[in-house]
Structure 1
Amino acid sequence: MFRLVLLLTGGLLAVGLSGCGGDRDELTIRYDDGAGTTSDWTLTCNPPGGSHPDPEAACQALEKNGSTALPPVPKDKACTMIFGGPQTATITGTWHGDKVDSSLSRTNGCEIARWKALAGLLPEQ
């Protein structure tokens, strides 16, 4: 991916291309359905690709909610004690140039909300 850079200085317009190779999204997702089946997927965005079953939907979910759903729930946040299921997932790699090391589950209301925010990246159940 390349970024178009426009600079206007003293009435002159300078146009250049800057590479964004360091910002490439490369993630590994490990999904455990809680019943003994584990799936490992790779995902790249910009352009969407990898072994993920639906890379376009996964990248869209990350763009829409990744900045709020990937970080862990703050320890002091009150969460409803609702169990949403035994599913777990880990997401590691790089997204928007930042390191990602995220663990998700469905063990309470806050974790269920994170999971739902990443629908498309993670299975809905």
Structure 2
Amino acid sequence: MIPLRIRAALAAASLTVLAFPAPAQAEPGVYHLNLTVTDQSGRTTARAELDCHPVGGSHPMAAEACQALDRVDGDPSRLTPQAGVDCYQLYRPVTGSATGEWNGWPVRWQMESGNDCKLRVATYPVFSF
């Protein structure tokens, strides 16, 4: 037989676990990103929605972008830059942003780049819109 003190301690521990649920995760299986490019002044210069599994949204290369993101588990910072493309050297800074969910996990990502060409090459094909 378990002593009363131990049963009381176990009951209290159980209530504590119930009172503090695990951190929230978005709905599993959701693959949706809002992609934006903003200029130095903060003005949005390009925008696309990307849905994967199934592929959709306003992104012109949605299937390719979804495949690229699948290879890196939805982490844009792990994308492989496009090979063989030279960008012009004009300094016109832009920021690429991705927000949304990938397989139910929140995505909040930003990258600053010297110009829009360099952003597209670094994140190909995700920011190719």
TM-score after normalising by structure 2? 0.53
- For 1:91 and 1:114, the matched residues in 2 are separated by 13
- Judging by fraction of residues, say which structure has more strand: 1
Computed over aligned residues only, the root mean square deviation of the Cα atoms, in angstroms, reads 3.4
- For 1:58 and 1:33, the matched residues in 2 are separated by 22
Match of 1:120 in 2: 125
The structure that has the greater radius of gyration is 2
Alpha-carbon offset, residue 119 of structure 1:
0.4
Matched residues, number: 90
1:39 pairs with 2:41: no
- Alpha carbons of structure 1 residues 87 and 29: separation in structure 2 relative to 1, 3 Å: same
SS state at 1:23 partner: coil
- For 1:27 and 1:95, the matched residues in 2 are separated by 8
1:101 pairs with 2:108: yes
- Judging by fraction of residues, say which structure has more helix: 2
Contiguous gaps of at least 5 residues in structure 2: 1-26, 79-89
Q: Percent identity?
A: 28
Contiguous gaps of at least 5 residues in structure 1: 1-20, 72-82, 108-112
Alpha-carbon offset, residue 117 of structure 1:
5.2
